[in-house]
Amino acid sequence: MDKPIQYLKGVGPKRAEALRKLEILTVKDLLTHYPREHDDRTERIPIGRASPSPSKTLRGMVQAFDVIPAGRNLAVGKAIIGDGTGYILAVWFRRASFRYDVFASLRRQLVKGASVLVHGPIERNHNGLQIRVDEFEILGAPETKPVHADRIVPLYGSTEGIDPRWLRELIWDALQVHLPEVREHLPDPFLKTHNLVPLSWAVQNIHFPSTWADLEKAHRRLAFEEFFFLELAIARAREKRMEGPRANSFVPTKAYLTPFRQTLGFDFTAAQKRVINEIFADMASDKPMNRLLQGDVGSGKTIVALAAMLLAVENGRQAALMAPTEILAEQHSLTLGKFLKGLPLRWALLTGHVPKKQRQEQLKQLKSGEVHLAVGTHALIQE
């Protein structure tokens, strides 16, 4: 699975460099380059029943193939395809080149008698029906499965220098060889408990599912695993944090909290009282607090945050309130000014647009402890 991608058949250094832009460096990267979406190309109809349609798949035998110039920069490849119920004209458009034959590959493949699948919109013109080919596939042995048509087809994110059709074939071929190397991460009882398919089956079917139900099972397994290991990592980080150095313990002295409540002009709601008590209990512990406060707009989250900040200041510490935008940071700064009126506390507004001289003075005052509270954007945590 760690084999460099350039050593796969048909890749080489030049294509490997292009694949690097997609962050595909190894076989594992290739197998986990999941499709951005899938296209349903399973509906195949006899040519004799074809009618104008946005997209259909037809199968037939090549009767003839020719290339017709269509202006200075355009060439059109045309194949007559029949299946016993009728005939249709299949059309390919290519930008013409004076340096090489843009239809060389098609000439080799679309020989008389070749069995082919074509997929694309069916249109009517003055000569009858034609299919404008978006995808095609030459069919070989009866047991060979099609990759580009007559199935649920994966569509991948690509980049310059990488043909999407070639990338699809590369992933198909890699799955045939390397799928047995995909190792299961979760024990069988766990898979059964949560009704999850095996990982190798999920990898196969996230790319080339036989049915939409199989695709959903594969997607569910891979999404479950991603969230599961994220949860494990978070749980481990929490465990390490609890095992680490003791956190500061904060005890309410009411030096600032009582005057703060008196200047509010209103009492806390029952919900605010409950969460403030929970937060204060966390802050009184020697374990680090990690808490999410959720509430509708206008429900009083900022007041709760400010109460926690004042508890820290009462205990000789400083506190910072970070907002995602400068406008929100400025609004919070104004809110602090409103609610802390009359209290012997200083605060600073730190954003990316604070002038350098003012910023240096603010940082100096924060470092010395003259400023008790800081409000700002991500500028708070940058050097």
CB atoms within 10 A of CB 86: 16
* DSSP 8-state code for residue 242: H
pLDDT at 37: 92
Tens of pLDDT, residues 258-283: 888 888 878 888 999 999 999 999 99
Q: What is the mean predicted confidence (pLDDT) over 89-108?
A: 84
- Binning pLDDT at 50, 70 and 90, where does residue 36 land? very high
The pLDDT value recorded for residue 18 is 87
Rounded to an integer, the average pLDDT of 242-270 is 82
- The DSSP code for 289 is P
Q: Is 38 helix (H, G, I), strand (E, B) or coil?
A: strand
Q: So what's the pLDDT on residue 141?
A: 57
Residue 143 has pLDDT above 60, yes or no: no
Q: Check whether 231 has a pLDDT greater than 90.
A: yes
Report the C-alpha gap between 182 and 28 in whole angstroms: 9
Q: Torsion-angle region of residue 195: left (phi > 0), alpha (psi -120 to 50) or beta?
A: left
> For the chain, what percent of residues have pLDDT higher than 90?
39
Q: Are 78 and 50 in contact (CB under 8 A)?
A: no
Q: Angle between the 301-314 and 326-339 helix axes, to the nearest 10 degrees? A: 70
Reported as a pLDDT band with limits 50, 70 and 90, residue 70 is confident
CB atoms within 10 A of CB 166: 13
Q: What is the pLDDT of residue 293?
A: 92
Whole-number pLDDT of residue 144 = 63
Structure-block tokens of residue 295 = 């509430």
pLDDT of residue 34: 94
pLDDT above 60 for 142: no
Dist CA 125 CA 344 (whole Å): 84
List CB contacts of 165: < 8 A, sequence separation 6 or more: 135, 148
- Examine the pLDDT at 340 and tell me if it is beyond 70: yes
Q: Within 10 A of 335 (CB to CB), how many other CB atoms are there?
A: 16
How far is residue 215's CA from residue 155's CA, in Å, rounded to a whole number?
13
- Report the alpha-carbon distance of residue 346 to residue 368 in Å, rounded: 12
Largest CA distance in the chain: 93
Helix (H, G, I), strand (E, B) or coil at 280: helix
Report pLDDT for 125.
83
What is the amino acid identity at position 107?
Answer: R
pLDDT given for residue 236 in this prediction? 92
Q: Percent of the chain beyond pLDDT 70? A: 99
Find the helix packing angle between 270-284 and 301-314, rounded to 10°.
30
Give 294-325 pLDDT, tens digit per residue: 988 888 888 999 999 999 999 999 999 999 99
Tens-digit pLDDT profile for residues 162-198: 888 889 999 999 999 999 999 998 999 999 999 999 9
Q: Beta strands of 10-140 (E only): which ranges?
A: 37-40, 53-69, 74-82, 87-95, 115-125, 128-132, 135-138
For residue 200 the two structure tokens come to 């190798």
Q: How confident is the model at residue 26 (pLDDT cuts 50, 70, 90)?
A: very high
